[in-house]
């Protein structure tokens, strides 16, 4: 998962929800178009090549987040942002 919610919100312990983009290793997901953003193995600590499913942006309870693997580089995050713009029709 890629955490998208504002760091300020994430720092407030009583704020229970976190905004995320789920990721998948499914090859079928790669063909979903501009809202499925390919991420290479190692991106943000990923153990396998994955796809950020920007069309499935959601919130989860912060207790579901157990381990932080890493951070995406600027160009990887820019690709995810482009996928989000496509999913939300925000040119």
Residue 8: burial class (beta carbons within 10 Å; 0-12, 13-18, 19+):
exposed
What ranges do the domains of the chain cover? 2-87
pLDDT at residue 13, rounded to an integer: 83
Rounded to an integer, the average pLDDT of 5-11 is 87
Kindly report, residue by residue over 22-65, the tens digit of the pLDDT: 999 988 888 778 999 999 999 999 999 999 999 999 999 999 98
Q: According to the CATH classification, is domain 2-87 in 3.30.1360.40?
A: no
Q: Which residues in 27-47 are b (16+ Cβ under 10 Å) and which e? A: eebeebeebbbebeeebbebe
pLDDT confidence of residue 91: 74
DSSP secondary structure code for residue 5 in this structure: S
Phi then psi dihedrals of residue 50, to 5 deg: -140, 175
Choose among 44, 51, 1: nearest CA to 30.
Answer: 51
Percent pLDDT > 70 in the chain is 100
């Amino acid at each position: 998962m890629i955490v998208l919610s504002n760091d300020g919100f994430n720092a407030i312990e009583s704020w229970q929800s976190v905004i995320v983009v789920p990721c998948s290793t499914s090859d079928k997901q790669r063909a979903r178009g501009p809202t499925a953003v390919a991420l290479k193995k190692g991106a943000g600590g990923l153990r396998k090549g994955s796809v950020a499913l920007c069309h499935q942006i959601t919130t989860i309870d912060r207790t579901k987040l157990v381990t932080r693997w890493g951070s995406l580089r600027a160009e990887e995050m820019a690709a995810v942002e482009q996928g989000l713009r496509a999913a939300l029709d925000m040119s």
